[in-house]
Structure 1
Amino acid sequence: MSFDLTRRTAPGIASLFALSIALATPAMARGADATADDAASAGNSGDALESAASDSSILVSGTRASDAIAAKRDAIGVSEVMSRDELKVRAGATVVDVISHLPGLSGSSDMGLGQAATGEQEFVSIRGIDSSYNAYTMNGVRLPQADPNSRALSLKMLPPNGIQSVVVSKTPSVDMDGDAIGGIIDIRTPTAFDYDGPHIGINVQGHGAQLARRSGADWGGGGASAEFARRFGNGAWGIYATAFYDEKNTAGQTVEATGYAPDLASEASDTNYRDISGLTATGVRYDYYVSNIKRFGGNASLDYRGATQTFSLQGSYARYKMTGEETQHSILNGQKSLYSNGTTYSPVGIMPGGYFQLRDQTEQMITVKAKGTTDLGKLHLAYEGSFGRSTTARPNYIEGSLYGTVNTTGYATGIDLSNPANTKVSYDSDATRDYALNPDGVSLWKFQGSDSSSAANMYTGRFDATYDVKSGILDTLVAGFKVSATDRNQYQHQFFGDNGDNFVIVDSNGVKRPFDNPAGPVSSALPGRNLSSILGNYAGTFRVYDRSTFENGVLPYIYTDQYALDADGNVVGNPGAYTVNDYNRYTVKGQEDIYAAYAAANFKIGDLTAAAGLRYEYTHFSSSQWSVDGDTGAFQKSGNNYGELLPSLILSYRPNAELVLRGAARRSFTRPAFGLLASPVVISRNDITGDISGISAGNPDLKASTANNYDLSAEWYGAHDTVLSVAGYYKTINDFIYSASSTGALPSASNATSNNGGVTTSIPENGKDADLYGIELNARHYLRDLPGFLSGFGVGGTLTLQRSSADSGRTDHYGRKTWLPRAPETIYNLDLFYDAHGVHANLAYQYQGLQLLGLTSNNLDTYLQPSKTLDLSVGYTFGNVSISGSVQNLTNNVLFYKTLGKSKQYLGTQDGGGNGSYVATGRFFNLSASLNF
């Protein structure tokens, strides 16, 4: 593979970077002496792995952009830093929205639980590596991850306020966690020592969602935050505290295909869609989402800083609560026949459908850390203990389905979804069209539901020691150890029997009717309201249902036996007896203990600094999961342990105060998702003999994915906060497990299926190898040499070009290699900003290229089409008061557009539990005012 810079987007991007360099170079030359003086006075902080006694990464004590640039420059490894001021001025509802503008980073959300329909991003990828390959910390404390389906951490609960800085380590050193193939994201909260004196800050804000307002939903919102900081005890002690509350309302409108059929009858049974003549959509779904989102929490810090002793006690709390509903109307074609002429796709029979689901979610994160440092001359000690708790829950996850009867003579002559913003459905007659779009053509048929939750409690202790040798080329010796224990608990209690099967509305005689003859009320009789259109092109009246119908139809009957009559008067399950299996089927408890130790030597050879180290991590996990065996079940135990040896060499060369050259070679790994290691066991038996016929389970013997990582970079720092940098990277990954961060579902890992004596066993297995290589360019410069008010302008841009290849090992892919998931080949950001005379403004454009999202069994994998967004923020500060406003998605682009295959020919279908492949959320507005004194 090679980089093709002749592609349509690349010349323009390269020209913009050339312009940035041209603007910046003269200022860099003029500012060389000043920069050298600044660096000399600041000292060289790239020593001793950033000193294990001072959080082992980058110290950011200020809030200006120059502080973040200095932190990036002085770090020994490749890193990115976003300061508090930049977090404040960028438009975004979550910290993901903001930090995804850093070089090599990208944000994402998915439709597994309808997150993309809120317009907010949830996950962060570093250099195209899926977010499950990152490690996440807060103030250096590892954040526990509750979702058993992924090692990724959802950051949607964290707003960008109340954060001092975000530090992204792309080449972590051996004193940091080793399970970080992508890198480590550290979210740092303020302390009293980040302020020159006593401080009180108050912020209020209001929100508005354009699409929600236009569609008649609740569209406003707002919030407030306050913070307090003060030093005491002759300035040696400091206390800081902040609290926040925020509420917003959003709406989303989506469309997707219900499925596809081959164009030729002779290819109807083909499973490899890459080789057939073509596909035609067999139906279309339109969905409308509304969400009320609340975030609240805070953090606090008590610190002591003496001459030889420091102590800190830090805590944080964040909670996310979403109350959401989804209403769907669908048109289902070919219900009688798909190939009525026997040769080509020629559907007969059409049926309208409907769907409703409650999408309530809660997430919570708690961290507490106590840390101390002691200086004993040349020996520096650091020690800490911490606790973290993460929970995620979907309470009363209720759904209902509506259907009409099949029109056995009518059909849709065409369903064109190639332009989702203007879908086209044509019919054989006006009567068929009226039938398909009639809101009273569907009636409520059945309900389902469940209550699920997962939690992780992490207890951690660590100790680090640094010894100042300062002899010859040997500068320092560093060593330490870390122990963590995490207990996990997850469940999903089905509300009805037969593994949560359908609870069907019976008729007046108690008869359970089939889906195409439902006994419930018609659509218009259900409480709700009407929309005239969805995405501007749904031709019928779109009925939006009220949640009360579905809550009242489910909650009084949960966890009970339910029976009905069939057409002959016989008693049948509806869905039947509620058993212990229905309650415990998805219950898993687990323990994961990690023991880590490291040692490193830091060398100085003139202007060259080298950190050579070795880390070892030993992992032991055990689990107890429910095993379903026919009509009975019991908990079954499993477990495993493994160790990883992780060498590292990080180099930095500083021939002068302006230029920094870096190189790094390190080994890292990522543990498999806990749900792949320990998932519920299902034993199938022959209905007649009772003999075991199949076993489906997790695989405790899955290997961790390991990677060799190589990095080179060059950075030039000039006057006026000028930065020019270029970085190259290469990663080779072994025992690759396909994972794309998608809420609500396990990653589509390869499954190993074997048959032993007539018993078929299916468990997840490791894939094969993967690799990723790319380059990053970054430029930022203030135009301070321009006259008057123009001197407040600045320009910036980042560009990432990369290529990836991965072999999932799936047998139905026949050895075919794909991209790495969530690894676009092109990412770039362009910024025009202003900061002078009390005015600050930022116009930010971001482009993320085509991404692989999911693997399919038909070899036509799912992709996310390129996304483009333009955000604007403007503010003014006068005295102690600041006012600002921002607009997200200024150009009203769609940020989630899923297709089958790389082209836009085939709109995506449902996967992972969420409906919607083309998701419109509109613009978001924010006004805020702050008072600081």
Structure 2
Amino acid sequence: MKNSMHQRRGQRAGERSSLDLWALTATAGAVTLLLAAGAAQAQQAQADTAAGAQTVVVTGIRKGIEDAISVKKNSESIVEAISAEDIGKLPDASVAESISRLPGVTSQRSFVTGRSQNVSVRGFGPDFNGGLLNGREQASTGSSRAVEFDQYPAELLANIVIYKTPDAAVIGQGLSSTIDMQTVRPLSFAKRAVAVNYRKEKTTKAENAPGYSEGDGDRVSLSYVDQFADRTLGVALGLTKSKSEGGTRPFFRTWGGWVPEVDYDHDNNATTAPIKVKTPGGFTTDLESTNFKREAAMAVLQFKPNKNFESVLDVFYSKGEFSNRKRGLEGPVGGLSAGANDSGGTLTNATIEGDVATSGTFTNWRGVIRNHNEDYTDKLESVGWANKLTVGDWRLNTDLSYSKVKKDATRFETTAGLPGDVNNPNDTITFSGFNGSNLDQVHYTTGLNYADPSLIKLTDVQGWAGATGVQDGYYANPVTTDKITALRLGAGRDMDLGPVKGFDFGANFSKREKERVTREGALIVPGALDANGNVINRFAAADMPGASAGVGGTTGIPVLTWNPAGSLGSVYQLNPWSDADIVAKSWGVEEKVTTGFVKGSLDGDVFGLPLRGNVGLQVQNTKQTATGYSVAGGCDGGTHTCPYTPYSAGHNYTDLLPSANLIFDLGGDQVVRLGAGRVLARADMEDMRGSINVTLNNNTDGNGVRLTASGGNPKLEPFRANALDLSYEKYFGRKGYVSVAGFYKKISTYILRVTTPGVELAPFVTPSTSLPPSGSTVGDLTQPRNGTGGNVKGIELAINLPLNMMTSYLDGFGIVLNHSHTTSSIKLATAGVDVQNIGVTEIPLPGLSKDVTNLRFYYENYGFQIAAAVRKRSQYLGSVSDYQDKTQLVFIRPETTVDMQVSYEFSSGPMKGLSLLLQGSNLTNEKFDQFDPATGQITETKKFGKSYLAGLNYKF
């Protein structure tokens, strides 16, 4: 790697922090206030009843649940839904959190913030979902197409609908699901509505240890809905602003769970052969802190002068600033030489139990102090204008939309330690508490003071640039821009042709342009290079500006820390690199998709059973072009300058996507739904890039001297599947339901990275490419390709009931429970995917947890709203962003998260419309553990602490 060793965090048992006391005090105060208010509310309710007031208005938790049940019950497709409990108030703090509580849905917590971020549906990773806003496809910030839901604040949304079966009239569908986020429609409100929401956030220490701290933040939102011109014109506005200063969190990486066997001279006898003992192999540990801000706005203008015409203009804007600070220590332990400046060490003074050194000291240790910054800003702009017109028996509609996201990231990685080469004095490192496998619990101490500025300098400590290069740090500035413009035209009419009661048809034209441009290279201290960029002193060192004493991650070892932001030009100069893997990160993809669709609405009887639903067909023609660079491999590794030339290619293909949704009414509020169709998910755009790296293989694998190449594939087609769904649902009006659903997806094409021999590589050969003696340009090409897949199947159980249906003594209580069990026959070779820290040759389908369970228990009465939620997810193959800004697949251990909230709403008196809220998240401080499935060893671990929100909402 070009910048530093991988990073990892450790964890220690925590004790109650001052924030826990704050939370207990706040809870006690809130409960006291709520009880007092509740008593007054109960007396008022009794008075109203005595006076004959019998009107029941459903609000809060029940309103959100009943509205969502209504959406599910009346939909022609198999869907799940979330509805706002009130204006500007989804049931959770984030969209991803709310979605992840639905049947068959779960989320992965961010490895940086600990918050739910990526959503998986029915065992598929986030890239297999379609992401929509008001029915329109949305741009994304990553190399994939998965929408980042934290860009859409929950306060600005009214509903979220997840389509589990395809619908021919829905554009931008995914293979596993289609997630449609919806803003309010102001004319659906009976009158003006205004709500102001403020919440104060606190996060506990992840552990009670030196260097750890608490975090805090706040969020405020304003929602306004109104109607004008005799209710023909409606306006909705939403504003939200949030900021969070996260506390420090521990991170520990075990270098892949590596436990080396090293020589140990146990009796100090030169004539006796040393014995082999196991020791820790190396570690990376940081204390991380995250800060982020987000400002967002939503506006809706709805005009409906009569029943025949409606025009709606939607605008959504979101801008975020994110910063992640990493301060820590890393280095090899087990006698390893990890760089050109490191000779490795010798084990001394060890305590041996069996074949394990439970403690000992290694000589010649060269520790690396890490002061890293990872910052980015993102900006989302989404606009849509929809019109509906009825002329006679015909319905006409148009929809013009635009979605753009830009993400500008900057990464500083700086290294500090003892300057000089292997001949300079080095340190010692002592370890203890090792049992052969507990790498994240070993205790380390060093011989030198790493917080001494007279010893510690900014320098290339290990010599990671090699014996001829220099790398005192690393800098990267990737910028990703994604833009979608679309126009939809449609028409339809009612008819009476047997069971077909109407039809709709139309076309959608969309153009998507996504590009990623990066500038990267080594950070160099003064005196290392001459004016021409040549290395003159690779051991050059510099003082650390504004240094202060900190902590070397979970080791507790004192180290020097500083903030490298803005140091390019003042402390460092940049030596830009153009290695093949770096050049390959700059690419562009353009897609033009024309979709024609026709959909028939069904309403009739089949075998004596009432039937409704739809059948339809989409025809999608895709024209795609990808750009990138052809890079000559084997360039000078010391200067990191590879020549490259632009390259582009394209492809054109057509898909037929039939669909059917049939709903049989069994009577007694019971229905059976049958869904069938063909679905697809388009490829990760980074896999489609036009970048190709060609190098000469000098028979290193025994298959002869020849050219080998690797890169993207501009001719890549989508993942495709045939889907079958069956669902039984029993409703109790709008109050509750129970359901059992099963699904089966047959993946006909899956994208894998494979090597194809005998490919003509002449189009990718540059003048700098070295050819074999034969001069042949035929060789092996490794790239993503469409291959065969397998099946994914599962069953989903759901119960959503108010408990007063069983007995009036439980009035106000309710339960929402669902469980999904999913399996897949798909097994992927690790050679075909980018997966880290594993010792197996085959992996399961990314994103699949076999078992996911969600439980939400609530009480709502007399103004009180109390809810507790538990989410349990079995182990799975998730994804994280690595140190090179690439998406890496990682195995994640099972986890259970617990959340709770208590609120009270005043419904009468001078405080009418005011709600008080106390909310707790991750109350068990659940760890985020990555592991190697071959050994069970934890490879990376992190804790995030508990989060508490205290706030108020005022509606008038």
Which residue is equivalent to 1:897?
929
- Shift in Å at residue 155 of structure 1? 1.4
Q: Secondary structure of 1:116's partner?
A: coil
Specify the code of the residue in structure 2 equivalent to 1:66. E
Which residue is equivalent to 1:888?
921
**Change in 2 beyond 3 A, CA 1:121/1:442:** farther
Q: Which residue, 257, 270, 276 being the options, matches 2:254?
A: 257
Contact 1:68 1:83 in 2 (8 A): yes
Q: Secondary structure of 1:161's partner?
A: helix
- Counterparts in 2 of 1:389-788, with a 5 A limit? 389-395=404-410, 397-404=411-418, 412=431, 415=434, 418=437, 423-425=441-443, 433-435=445-447, 438-440=450-452, 443-445=457-459, 446-494=472-520, 500-501=521-522, 503-504=524-525, 506=527, 519-521=541-543, 527-531=547-551, 538-541=555-558, 545-548=561-564, 551-552=566-567, 575=575, 586-606=585-605, 607-629=610-632, 631-684=642-695, 693-718=707-732, 721-737=735-751, 749-752=753-756, 757=776, 759-784=779-804
- Shift in Å at residue 820 of structure 1? 0.9
Specify the code of the residue in structure 2 equivalent to 1:142. E
- Counterparts in 2 of 1:62-77, with a 5 A limit? 64-77=64-77
Could you give the per-residue CA deviations for residues 168-195 of structure 1, whole angstroms, max 9, x where no partner exists? 1111211123651111001101121232
Contact 1:66 1:721 in 2 (8 A): yes
- Shift in Å at residue 474 of structure 1? 1.9
Q: Secondary structure of 1:677's partner?
A: coil
In structure 2, C-alpha distance between the alignment counterparts of 1:86 and 1:826, rounded to whole Å: 32
Contact 1:417 1:423 in 2 (8 A): no
- Answer with 1 or 2: which has the greater Rg: 2
**Change in 2 beyond 3 A, CA 1:365/1:484:** same
Which moves more between the two structures, 708-717 or 502-511? Answer: 502-511
Structure 2 unaligned regions, length at least 5: 1-61, 264-275, 337-342, 349-353, 460-471, 636-641, 699-704, 761-775, 834-838, 883-887, 907-911
Which residue is equivalent to 1:232?
228
Which residue is equivalent to 2:161?
167
- Shift in Å at residue 240 of structure 1? 0.9
- Shift in Å at residue 303 of structure 1? 0.7
Q: Secondary structure of 1:736's partner?
A: strand
In structure 1, C-alpha distance between the alignment counterparts of 2:366 and 2:427, rounded to whole Å: 9
Q: Secondary structure of 1:737's partner?
A: strand
**Change in 2 beyond 3 A, CA 1:194/1:505:** farther
**Change in 2 beyond 3 A, CA 1:861/1:65:** closer
In structure 2, C-alpha distance between the alignment counterparts of 1:786 and 1:278, rounded to whole Å: 65
- Shift in Å at residue 411 of structure 1? 6.5
Q: Secondary structure of 1:118's partner?
A: coil
**Change in 2 beyond 3 A, CA 1:826/1:86:** farther
Could you give the per-residue CA deviations for residues 444-473 of structure 1, whole angstroms, max 9, x where no partner exists? 221221221111111101122222112322
- Shift in Å at residue 439 of structure 1? 4.3
Which residue is equivalent to 2:273?
none
Q: Which residue, 225, 241, 246 being the options, matches 1:245?
A: 241
1:929 aligns with 2:952: yes
In structure 2, C-alpha distance between the alignment counterparts of 1:799 and 1:87, rounded to whole Å: 30
Q: Percent identity?
A: 19
Q: Secondary structure of 2:667's partner?
A: coil
- Shift in Å at residue 885 of structure 1? 1.3
Specify the code of the residue in structure 1 equivalent to 2:442. K
Contact 2:206 2:925 in 1 (8 A): no
Q: Secondary structure of 1:360's partner?
A: strand
Q: Which residue, 140, 145, 155 being the options, matches 1:145?
A: 140
The TM-score normalised by the length of structure 1 is 0.78
In structure 2, C-alpha distance between the alignment counterparts of 1:769 and 1:337, rounded to whole Å: 46
**Change in 2 beyond 3 A, CA 1:862/1:360:** closer
**Change in 2 beyond 3 A, CA 1:834/1:750:** farther
Contact 2:451 2:549 in 1 (8 A): no
Specify the code of the residue in structure 2 equivalent to 1:364. K
Specify the code of the residue in structure 1 equivalent to 2:612. T
- Shift in Å at residue 63 of structure 1? 5.4
Which residue is equivalent to 1:21?
none
What is the count of residue pairs matched by the alignment? 792
**Change in 2 beyond 3 A, CA 1:90/1:760:** same
Specify the code of the residue in structure 2 equivalent to 1:906. Q
- Shift in Å at residue 378 of structure 1? 3.0
Could you give the per-residue CA deviations for residues 621-661 of structure 1, whole angstroms, max 9, x where no partner exists? 11332334465433222111111111112111112251111
- Shift in Å at residue 719 of structure 1? 5.3
**Change in 2 beyond 3 A, CA 1:437/1:402:** same
Specify the code of the residue in structure 1 equivalent to 2:330. S
Q: Secondary structure of 2:236's partner?
A: strand
Contact 1:770 1:820 in 2 (8 A): no
Higher RCO, Cα 8 Å, sep 6+? 1
Specify the code of the residue in structure 1 equivalent to 2:863. G
In structure 2, C-alpha distance between the alignment counterparts of 1:491 and 1:723, rounded to whole Å: 50
Which residue is equivalent to 2:83?
83
**Change in 2 beyond 3 A, CA 1:583/1:254:** closer
In structure 2, C-alpha distance between the alignment counterparts of 1:475 and 1:555, rounded to whole Å: 72
Which residue is equivalent to 1:118?
113
Q: Secondary structure of 1:806's partner?
A: coil
In structure 1, C-alpha distance between the alignment counterparts of 2:719 and 2:620, rounded to whole Å: 14
Specify the code of the residue in structure 1 equivalent to 2:131. Y
Structure 1 unaligned regions, length at least 5: 1-61, 110-114, 267-276, 427-432, 495-499, 560-574, 739-748, 909-916
1:920 aligns with 2:951: no
**Change in 2 beyond 3 A, CA 1:170/1:752:** same
Contact 1:437 1:539 in 2 (8 A): no
Which residue is equivalent to 1:49?
none
Contact 1:481 1:597 in 2 (8 A): yes
Specify the code of the residue in structure 2 equivalent to 1:654. D
Specify the code of the residue in structure 2 equivalent to 1:589. G
Q: Secondary structure of 1:642's partner?
A: strand
- Shift in Å at residue 906 of structure 1? 1.2
Which moves more between the two structures, 661-670 or 608-617? Answer: 608-617
In structure 2, C-alpha distance between the alignment counterparts of 1:786 and 1:853, rounded to whole Å: 41
In structure 2, C-alpha distance between the alignment counterparts of 1:830 and 1:330, rounded to whole Å: 41
In structure 2, C-alpha distance between the alignment counterparts of 1:639 and 1:553, rounded to whole Å: 39
Contact 1:725 1:778 in 2 (8 A): yes
Q: Secondary structure of 2:600's partner?
A: strand
Specify the code of the residue in structure 1 equivalent to 2:291. N
Q: Secondary structure of 2:77's partner?
A: coil
**Change in 2 beyond 3 A, CA 1:658/1:793:** same
Give the structure with the larger helix fraction: 1
**Change in 2 beyond 3 A, CA 1:906/1:600:** same
Contact 1:96 1:155 in 2 (8 A): yes
- Shift in Å at residue 216 of structure 1? 5.8
Contact 2:89 2:154 in 1 (8 A): no
Q: Secondary structure of 2:566's partner?
A: helix
Could you give the per-residue CA deviations for residues 477-532 of structure 1, whole angstroms, max 9, x where no partner exists? 221211101122220012xxxxx1452564899997998x673448xx8623434x
Contact 1:285 1:330 in 2 (8 A): yes
**Change in 2 beyond 3 A, CA 1:513/1:791:** farther
Could you give the per-residue CA deviations for residues 227-276 of structure 1, whole angstroms, max 9, x where no partner exists? 2111112112111111111111113211111245576699xxxxxxxxxx
Q: Secondary structure of 1:151's partner?
A: coil
